Structure 1
Amino acid sequence: MNLHVDTKTVLVLIGLGHLFTSILIGAYWYGQPKNKLLHLFLLGKCAESVAWLGSALRPEHPSMLYLLIINAMLYIAAACEIMALLSLREELRPRTRRIYYALTALSIVGFALLELFYNKESVRVAYSSMVSTVILFPVYRMLIRRSATALMRVTGFLYVLVFALGCLKGAGALLSGSRIQTFTPSIFETLMVLSLFLLMIVENSGFVLLLKEKSDQELIRLASFDDLTNTLNRRTFALEANRCLAEHAKRRMPISFLLFDIDNFKVINDTYGHMAGDEVLQDMTSQIRSQLDREALFVRYGGDEFGIMLLGMDETASNRLAERMKESLGGAASRGLPAAYTISIGVITIVPDRQTELSTLYSSCDKALYMAKNKGRNHVQRAHLDGYLDERNESTTAS
């Protein structure tokens, strides 16, 4: 079976593919807020388009400058692409950006020196293959990152496959006994074209899908979390809490629910302003979140009222946690806050059944919270489902 292909035609198609991809993405994003990530990606696509179109249309005996420009475009394109992917995963730091600027410049200088002192086509092909592979190598982290999605892993796997083909191409160029002739039908040329075509698909489709996935995740986050405190909003919390109640009812495991707010929060707002009040809310949620495990559900009901559902936590453990929560809020001045503050907490622990409703837990904790306020604030007050307040389990720490 003849696997040889018309390399020039394929390179033209690859160059046009990158060009039209950049045009379509640019048109889609036209008029929207500036996005550095997209600018990097589009710059890479334009550079890659110039490189492959230039490769396909190059003269039979190209000058050294012509070859240098084409390969420089490829190195720039690879660097822009990896920086765009790192930015997409929020891993592009200023230091990393500087490293890639330097790596790209060194790659171009290295190719120029190779042309001047060891101008063999097989060596140039091997050098370019290896440089592109090294520049794009960090994409392997898509495979090993614990939080990686299925799309990230599949894209990472395809990149690794392309890396393998690139390494084979470079090794084949070095080990070839005869001088490689570009655009001469051969297994080597077929391997090169297939790797380039696969890379184009992975680059363009993979990046667009990853960008869409990130946008979808951001929309889900905006729909599920409170902007100021990054806690769950009421709707999302209710869905998750009811699911957890049903699961723990089947397993006959305890659940504790805490309802709390900031003591005299209105005074803080009136005295120091609402900006200061927002700082207090953010500080409180940050300090309390550090006391919680990953399974805890943390919700902002509104204003300064918050709730926490603790899964599998009994009365003793929930009492200890409530006390740690209060203690963690001390030292507000050392954290740059304008005023010290405390919280009052209502807490209930139950082993839910199929009839247990979140609204019932909220109502019982609300009564306990009201009593904690009446006892001087900065208290933890325990409640039962029937509304009876268990005086034996209350904390009497005064504010």
Structure 2
Amino acid sequence: MDIIHSRLVTIINITLDSTMITIFLGAGYLFTFILIGAYWHDALKELPVRTFFMAKCLQSAAWFLAVVRGEIPDFLSIAVANSFMFIGAALESIALLRLRNEWQRKFRTPYLLAALFSIAGFQLVILVHNSEEWRIICGSLFLAILLAPSYRMVKGPSSLMKVMGYAYLLVVAANLIRAATASFTDTSVSLFTPGFYQLIYLVSVFILTILGIMGFLLLWKEKSNQELLQYASYDDLTGALNRRMFTSGAKPLLEQCAKKRQHLSYLLFDIDSFKDINDNYGHHTGDLVLQDVVRRIRPLLGNNDLFVRYGGDEFGILLPGRNEPESSHLAEQIKLTLETAPSHLPVPYSLSIGVLTLVPDPHTRMETLYTRCDQALYAAKRNGRNRIARSQIS
């Protein structure tokens, strides 16, 4: 016990040269340049990554200016260094918000004003009451304010994003505690006063800096993977499932309905005289019609329904758990929506729909449903288009 106590006392009494610790911090930010520049060369073209990269550049400059305090004018090591730190913190938050697609117009103006106020407010403190205590209080509060929006990652969809959100909340809390300590106690919280507080604070900042860098890059990689999955799974024009993803999702639904002996319905439809729309109004108008079809139909579907664009103007909807009256009602709703809802398109259009309902068995295949429903679809077209025809599997 005496040995352990002795070692604890030794650790508590450790004081590191502030210049050396600050150099370590600067080196941590420099690590960002090397990592992003070497591995994420193409990613630098993207605005969130470029914004984060610029944030770390400014924060690195701030730490290196702080390293040489006393060797250069205070204007550079205090006023300019802290301004760089505030701008860097603001850009870091903006990069994270861009990553979540939350850098919205309504939020931009108040946040940018807060950033400008932080810079101007700190300079005013230097001019009016230039004491280290007041600089610590105001600087810590301003950093907490500028980093506060990062808390929104706590509500993110992935565990990584949530962890990053809590890490930034910890940084915000640390700055608030530092400001409160400087305001209400006699404890020195200066980063340039050797002591246990200095050691803990700077080492913590160093660790969180490295974690923040790695976390951001992992978040960007996660976002890129999600976008690749989106491209691989959905039709890029309409946002409906593509054929491959639909087939993959339909198989377990067929198996589930077969196991539970539940009804399953399938709708197959296309746009009447779609070739004439393209020929007479142009392919751009044809694309608008395809997008309009999906936009109108999607709100009518449930969470478990699968909506696919097979190609051209042909679409399908798989409805697990829907019986014949329910599927007929949905088909009528789709038809009614197209006939009554206002449209800004230069051409009206209608759909022909084939409908099929069955209780699948373990041998039921999606290809069989498609073939029989396709026959019903062409029956609807032969009977005058803009109609619903139903098929049954015998």
TM over 0.5: yes
Equivalent in the alignment of 2:4: none
4+ residue segments displaced more than 6 Å: none
Deviates more, 1:365-374 or 1:244-253: 244-253
Deviates more, 1:68-77 or 1:179-188: 179-188
Note if 1:353 corresponds to 2:368.
no
Question: Any conservation in 2 of the 1:265–1:304 contact (CA below 8 Å)?
Answer: yes
Equivalent in the alignment of 2:69: 58
Give 1:132 shift.
Answer: 1.1
List aligned pairs for 1:336-351, cutoff 5 A: 336-351=344-359
> What are the Cα deviations for residues 171-207 of structure 1, in whole angstroms up to 9, with x where unaligned?
2222231565542232321332133123302321111
Percent identity of the aligned residues?
A: 44
Q: 1:384 to 1:180 in 2, by over 3 A?
A: closer
Note if 1:42 corresponds to 2:53.
yes
Note if 1:159 corresponds to 2:182.
no
> What are the Cα deviations for residues 220-267 of structure 1, in whole angstroms up to 9, with x where unaligned?
010111111111111110000101112222233222111100011111
Cα RMSD for the two superposed structures: 2.0
Where do 5+ consecutive residues of structure 1 fail to align?
387-399
Q: How many residues align?
A: 383
Q: 1:211 to 1:79 in 2, by over 3 A?
A: same
Equivalent in the alignment of 1:276: 285
Equivalent in the alignment of 2:95: 84
List aligned pairs for 1:196-275, cutoff 5 A: 196-275=205-284
- Residue aligned with 1:335, SS: coil
| Letter paired with 2:378 | Y
| Letter paired with 1:233 | N
Q: 1:253 to 1:57 in 2, by over 3 A?
A: farther
Give 1:139 shift.
Answer: 1.7
Which of 175, 179, 185 matches 1:176? Answer: 185
Deviates more, 1:101-110 or 1:23-32: 23-32
Note if 1:335 corresponds to 2:355.
no
Equivalent in the alignment of 1:107: 118
> What are the Cα deviations for residues 149-176 of structure 1, in whole angstroms up to 9, with x where unaligned?
1111111122222222222222222223
Note if 1:68 corresponds to 2:79.
yes
Q: 1:244 to 1:5 in 2, by over 3 A?
A: farther
Question: Any conservation in 2 of the 1:140–1:156 contact (CA below 8 Å)?
Answer: yes
Question: Any conservation in 2 of the 1:288–1:325 contact (CA below 8 Å)?
Answer: yes
Q: What is the distance in 1 between the residues matched to 2:203 and 2:321?
A: 54
Question: Any conservation in 1 of the 2:28–2:210 contact (CA below 8 Å)?
Answer: no
Equivalent in the alignment of 1:373: 381
Q: What is the distance in 2 between the residues matched to 1:249 and 1:10?
A: 66
Q: What is the distance in 2 between the residues matched to 1:92 and 1:339?
A: 37
| Letter paired with 2:385 | R
Give 1:33 shift.
Answer: 8.0
Q: What is the distance in 1 between the residues matched to 2:88 and 2:115?
A: 10
Give 1:23 shift.
Answer: 3.9
Q: 1:33 to 1:25 in 2, by over 3 A?
A: closer
Give 1:64 shift.
Answer: 4.3
Q: What is the distance in 2 between the residues matched to 1:181 and 1:234?
A: 62
Note if 1:194 corresponds to 2:194.
no
Note if 1:15 corresponds to 2:15.
no
> What are the Cα deviations for residues 73-130 of structure 1, in whole angstroms up to 9, with x where unaligned?
1100011011111111111123433333322111011111111222221221122122
Q: What is the distance in 2 between the residues matched to 1:151 and 1:83?
A: 18
Q: 1:263 to 1:20 in 2, by over 3 A?
A: same
